[in-house]
């Protein structure tokens, strides 16, 4: 299987990609593909363990992107001020750190099977990292 990486950021001085896009890169050939449209200002990308879906976040939503078809799914509401996210090793749940959710930090879980968010977990002011222990 050809590995792919989705990116929403650009290197300083690089050509600016269209707003609200991520660009798939085939790592075997270092070739950029056609930009995939996602909600504005994507900046966090997390890959599912099986490599079939990339989850692209902006400050308020997470958008699943199929790495097979390079198409974006329906954005998932995941809090406010998304800072980072991670996915459990079994690929069934994602956890999103919300830096500014209602002036208190939260972590919002969502099912990667149904793409439905769960109840936010209070995590103190400004959570910036999430680690899942095996």
3-class state of residue 102 by DSSP:
helix
Structural domains in the chain, sorted by start = 4-122 (2.130.10.10)
**Cα(53)–Cα(69) distance, rounded to whole angstroms?**
10
**What's the confidence (pLDDT) of residue 62?**
95
Average pLDDT of each block of 10 consecutive residues along the chain (134 residues)? 44 56 87 89 91 92 94 92 93 91 79 94 86 85
For residues 21 and 70, the answer to whether their CB atoms sit within 8 Å is no
**What's the confidence (pLDDT) of residue 17?**
57
**What's the confidence (pLDDT) of residue 27?**
83
**What's the confidence (pLDDT) of residue 61?**
93
Q: For strand 44-47 and strand 53-57, is the pairing parallel, antiparallel, or unpaired?
A: antiparallel
**What's the confidence (pLDDT) of residue 79?**
84
Handedness of CA 92, 98, 101, 104 (dihedral sign): positive
Which residues, listed in sequence order, are joined to residue 122 by a DSSP beta bridge?
106
**Cα(22)–Cα(38) distance, rounded to whole angstroms?**
7
């Amino acid at each position: 299987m050809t590995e792919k990486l989705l990116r929403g950021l650009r290197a300083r001085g690089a050509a600016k990609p269209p707003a609200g896009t991520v660009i798939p890169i085939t790592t075997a050939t270092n070739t950029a593909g056609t930009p995939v449209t996602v909600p504005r200002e994507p900046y966090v990308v997390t890959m599912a363990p099986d490599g079939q879906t990339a989850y692209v976040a902006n400050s308020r939503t997470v958008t699943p992107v199929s790495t097979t078809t390079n198409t974006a799914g329906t954005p998932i509401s995941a809090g406010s001020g998304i800072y980072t996210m991670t996915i459990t090793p079994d690929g069934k749940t994602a956890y999103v750190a919300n830096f500014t959710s209602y002036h208190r930090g939260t972590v919002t879980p969502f099912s990667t099977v149904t793409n439905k968010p769960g109840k936010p977990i209070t995590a103190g002011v400004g959570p910036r990292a999430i680690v899942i222990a095996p």
